[in-house]
Amino acid sequence: MGKVCIEGVGKFYQHYPSVVAVVTARIGEKANAMAAAWHSALSFEPPLYGVAISPKRFTHDLVLEAGEFGVNFLPLEKAGVIAAVGGSTGREVDKFEVFKIAEDKPVLTSVPILAEAYAAYECKLVSHHIFGDHTWFVGEIVMVHLVEGALTDEGMLDLSSVKPAMYLGADRYVTAWCESLCYLDRKAWTKG
């Protein structure tokens, strides 16, 4: 099959699918959540996590003011929550109330932790920087919430019990099926 070269990223879906996060923050009584497909681990020691948030989002200023944020990962069967928080703004609705989003208690911060999340990070904001039309927020992970049995003995997501919600673009969601799992020993592959 031939390839084409295009100037410009278009809808910027080429690098998907990727796991979607629900980023949360709280100031006093005001709690909010938004969907974020642009996020990444940045460092082991200290454990740092980054998320790109447009200044247009209500969550943007909430994170700045709170100085902390939550990163929640939902299974595909709860992708409706992602679509809901990614399609509405906390300026107009209380998403937790309207979409009946249940919370677990945070431990070291006040960020909302989604009860339906199979994993979630409580992050303290350590830095932020504007890149183009988004702000890159960097948080130190101070607490990890994890559903029992979500990880294998090797610390990977156990795909036989958790189906992570991944974003493909254009409001389409997929997951990673355990049937596609393959083990490639890097030592064997680098021989010769």
Ligand X SMILES: Cc1cc2nc3c(=O)[nH]c(=O)nc-3n(C[C@H](O)[C@H](O)[C@H](O)COP(=O)(O)O)c2cc1C
Question: Minimum CB separation from ligand X for residue 4, in Å?
Answer: 26
* Cβ burial, residue 99 (10 Å; 0-12/13-18/19+): middle
**Per CB under 6 A, does 165 bind ligand X?**
no
Amino acid, res. 64: L
Residue number of the CB closest to ligand X reads 86
The CA distances from residue 148 to 153, 155, 162, in Å, are 12, 12, 11
Least Cβ distance, residue 139 to ligand X (angstroms): 15
Q: Report if residue 50 touches ligand X, rule: CB under 6 A.
A: no
Cα separation of 121 and 21, whole Å?
Answer: 10
Residue from 19, 27, 48, 52 binding ligand X (CB under 6 A): 52
Q: How far is the CB of 87 from ligand X (least distance, A)?
A: 6
Residue 89 in the binding site for ligand X (CB under 6 A): yes
Work out which of 38, 48, 110, 150 binds ligand X, going by CB under 6 A: 38
Burial class from Cβ neighbours inside 10 Å (0-12, 13-18, 19+) for residue 109 reads: buried
- Give the residue with the Cβ less far from ligand X, 46 or 87: 87
Among the listed residues 31, 49, 53, 123, the single contact to ligand X using CB under 6 A = 53
Between 26 and 134, whose beta carbon lies closer to ligand X?
134
Residue 54 engages ligand X in binding (rule: CB under 6 A): yes
DSSP 8-class letter at 57: S
**Contact residue for ligand X among 31, 49, 50, 58 (CB under 6 A):** 58
For ligand X, which is the closer residue by CB, 53 or 113? 53
Of the candidates 71, 94, 84, 77, which has an alpha carbon nearest to the alpha carbon of residue 20?
A: 71
State how far the Cα of 88 lies from the Cα of 177, in Å rounded to an integer: 30
Q: Quick one: 19 or 48, whose CB is closer to ligand X?
A: 19
Q: Residue 9 corresponds to which tokens in the numbers above?
A: 């990223």
| Interaction of residue 90 with ligand X, rule CB under 6 A | yes
Q: State the Cα angle at 145 between 141 and 16, rounded to 5°.
A: 75
**Binder among 86, 106, 139, 164 for ligand X (CB under 6 A):** 86
